[in-house]
């Protein structure tokens, strides 16, 4: 049985990643209007306060159950999204990262920055050797954010997962801790 996890607060100067609180509920109202977020997460669509509160409880439960860190992304004092490593394959030295931002917070490099911040933290603090991402081939914004955060594309996983009513192909990306160490050594 995995141990319960304690979520730290992680900052990069512009954004804070911290534990979800029920005061963050309004971000789910906008997330529910996005055509894609509810399809790849359990964000309820349409928004209603009870099911949105249950979403927040599920994020907190991940840490209690030791299955993953689910952070709310905060810009200034405004919650704008979600990011976290899920730890199902931690015994095998792997974790996969999921993320979303509300539409009004996109298009200014935020995904790239928070993905970099979270990955650096996971390598340094959790000592995970390999971080993975799964991205649909059409999702240019997510592909670009992954590449710019140091993830490398490895190949297409055909019919990998159900999204909505369809089986979706996913591109597999990874960032390896030794890539980070080598970059650090090169940069002194």
Ligand X SMILES: CC(C)(COP(=O)(O)OP(=O)(O)OC[C@H]1O[C@@H](n2cnc3c(N)ncnc32)[C@H](O)[C@@H]1OP(=O)(O)O)[C@@H](O)C(=O)NCCC(=O)NCCS
Site residues, ligand X (CB under 6 A):
36-37, 40, 99-101, 106-112, 135, 139-142, 144-145, 148
Min separation Cβ 185 and ligand X, Å: 26
- Using the minimum distance from each CB to ligand X, give the nearer residue, 64 or 88: 88
- Using the minimum distance from each CB to ligand X, give the nearer residue, 40 or 66: 40
Interacting residues of 180 by C-beta distance below 8 A, sequence separation 6+ = 119, 120, 123, 150
- Using the minimum distance from each CB to ligand X, give the nearer residue, 8 or 109: 109
- Using the minimum distance from each CB to ligand X, give the nearer residue, 93 or 107: 107
Min separation Cβ 96 and ligand X, Å: 10
Min separation Cβ 4 and ligand X, Å: 27
């Amino acid at each position: 049985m995995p141990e319960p996890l304690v979520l730290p607060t992680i900052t990069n100067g512009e954004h804070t990643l911290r534990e979800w609180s029920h005061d963050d509920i309004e971000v789910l109202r906008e997330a529910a209007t996005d055509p894609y977020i509810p399809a790849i997460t359990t964000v309820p669509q349409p928004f209603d306060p009870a099911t949105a509160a249950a979403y927040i409880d599920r994020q907190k439960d991940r840490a209690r159950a030791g299955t993953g860190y689910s952070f709310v992304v905060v810009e200034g004092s405004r919650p704008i999204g979600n990011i976290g490593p899920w730890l199902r394959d931690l015994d095998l030295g792997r974790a996969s990262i999921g993320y979303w931002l509300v539409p009004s917070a996109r298009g200014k490099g935020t995904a790239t920055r928070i993905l970099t911040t979270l990955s650096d933290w996971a390598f340094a603090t959790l000592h995970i050797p390999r971080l993975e991402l799964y991205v649909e081939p059409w999702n240019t914004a997510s592909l670009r954010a992954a590449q710019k955060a140091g993830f490398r594309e490895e190949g297409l996983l055909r019919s990998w997962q159900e999204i909505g009513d369809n089986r979706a192909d996913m591109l597999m990306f990874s960032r390896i801790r030794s890539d980070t160490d080598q970059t650090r050594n090169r940069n002194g």
